[in-house]
Amino acid sequence: MISWIPAPLQFMILERPVLNENIRIEENSFIPALLFFGIMFFLGLFIQDRFLAKKEE
């Protein structure tokens, strides 16, 4: 397991539960992937903002 990803997100990405056999894994994994990249993007902005704020002092 990847330790730096929060547990619920880890579950959504790695253990995606398939409710219906007709749903393909590609369709089912789109939302967790979007969520993951969204979180990574905002985390990146936050870290960059903190770094720049520290540099200005």
pLDDT in tens, 35-57: 889 999 999 988 888 887 777 66
36 belongs to a structural domain: yes
Q: Is residue 30 part of a domain?
A: yes
Residue 41 pLDDT: 93
For residue 51, the enclosing domain spans 7-15+24-56
Indicate whether 2 belongs to any domain. Answer: no
Q: Would 1 be classed as within a structural domain?
A: no
Nearest to 33 by CA among 11, 47, 12: 12
In a domain, 34, yes or no: yes
Rounded to 10 degrees, the C-alpha dihedral 38/40/42/44 comes to -150
Average model confidence (pLDDT) across the chain: 69
> How many structural domains comprise the chain?
1
Across residues 11-29, what is the average pLDDT?
Answer: 56
